[in-house]
Amino acid sequence: MEEEKNDPESESTKKQDDFAEKKEVKDEIKKLPNTIWKYLVSIFSFSNDKDVNPLAVIEDIKKGIEFKGYNVWILICSIFICSIGLNVNSVAVVIGAMLISPLMGPIRGIGLAVGTNNFKLLIYSLINFGVATVVSILASFLYFKLMPFKDETSEILARTEPFILDVLIAFFGGLAGIIAASKQDNSTVVPGVAIATALMPPLCVTGYGLAIGDSGYYLGAFYLFILNSLFICLATIIVLRYLKFPLATYVNKKKERNFKIYIAVFLAVILIPSGMKFKEIFDKSVFNNLAKTFVKEEISEIPGVKIFDEDYNFENETITLFLAGNSIITEIRKQELLEKLSNEKYKMRSPSLVIIQNDEFQNNLTMDDFRLMSKDWENKIMERDQKIKQLESDYKNKTDFTFDLKSANKKLKLVTEFNELETFSASKAYKVNMDGTMDTTLLIVIDWLDSNLIPKRTDKLNEWIEVNFETTNYQVIEKIKK
């Protein structure tokens, strides 16, 4: 045994094995980052998915492009539903209209055409997109023109200009839609995309703006629609290029080269203005947020000052405030506030602060200012009324009880079957259902003087409770003398 332990060859072999094992461990550690990266790529990648059939996906998208007959009438119906929803300020009705709208078809078609260099399909998609847009605006225009109700509801006002989040929703909504389409799984994603991207309401507001003759409304709403459509197209193009969908081929190579140039020009027309407008909307959103933060932190905290109204103008970085209250902001204080707008926190290059307070209202406000302020306050009052209605609805649906035990005592004495009644207790009680939901119930505890429960008397008691307390949601506990 000792000879084996001292054998030089055995020790050499063991050292070699240890060295090889250590080297193998080191190699595995070196490969670990690459292994983790490959694993992460496998989680998020869908380009090598065997279920993706490019030709089938292309055919599916092409089927939804054409707008005539059936599709046009479905679109008109959805436009009327959406217009009614905007008119009555109903979010649920607007969502219902977006669910049945077929507007996504030609927009996807444009993305497919650009993504696969198919110029003929691009022209075909653009024509159908134009038809769908004109029909939508015309239908909403006729509705609002013929209807006597032309109130500016909060749902309408929310679609009069683009916001940074609208653009992001359109892009990621389009991204989700085309990824689902690439798997030919439209069951749940497409309805969600239709709601999220909200293409229908801006078109209806465009018709509304035309009907009342307000260029600010119809231009802003139409621009919002176009911008949303462009970013859905952009998302479609990116995914199709990533998945390496087959590009269109032409027999005439010169014509193919020209078509590619046309596609590239169209893509530039989409990307450059969209990128510029995205930056503009982003900057405007940042300015508005910073301005609101400034007003909240620096103005609203001043004792004795109440903000009557406020306005933010991104173009000239102007914050206009209408103040009331028993405190006056002096010119010195105003300069101090203006300096704060230029500091690192708010980062405004050349801000302007206009403060109109107390007696200055009458001297500085024009009729247009009063109309704008009146509109703004009308909208705030409408929003408040909506919240009140919602709270009233929630309160009505909530299980609640009101009872007067003194009155109940008098009524109980009139019923001969209850002569043996000693005490009557009533209170609200919380109960937990087996599905985990919670509710309240009316808990009634009865003490009888006699030693036996009488079924007929219990039935009579139940009837009495339902009539006098006007509820069937109650629990009775009866106690007897033992």
Whole-number Å distance between alpha carbons of 193 and 175: 9
Task: Tell whether pTM > 0.85.
Answer: no
Give me the pLDDT at residue 4, please: 47
Give me the pLDDT at residue 15, please: 60
CB 286 within 8 A of CB 317: no
- Per-position pLDDT tens, the chain of length 482: 444 445 555 666 666 666 666 666 666 677 667 777 766 766 666 555 556 677 888 888 888 888 888 888 888 898 999 888 888 888 888 888 887 778 888 888 888 888 888 888 888 999 999 999 999 999 999 998 888 877 777 788 777 777 767 777 778 877 877 777 777 665 556 566 666 667 888 889 999 989 888 888 888 888 888 888 888 888 888 888 888 888 777 656 777 677 778 777 877 776 777 677 777 778 888 888 888 888 888 887 777 777 777 778 887 788 888 777 677 777 888 888 887 877 777 777 777 888 877 655 545 555 555 555 555 666 666 667 777 776 666 555 554 555 667 777 778 887 878 888 888 888 878 777 776 666 778 888 888 888 788 888 888 888 888 888 878 888 888 888 76
Per the DSSP assignment, residues forming a β-bridge with 474 are 442
CB 351 within 8 A of CB 317: yes
Give me the pLDDT at residue 387, please: 72
Whole-number Å distance between alpha carbons of 192 and 125: 23
SS (H, E, C) 173-208: HHHHHHHHHHCCCCCCHHHHHHHHHCCHHHHHHHHH
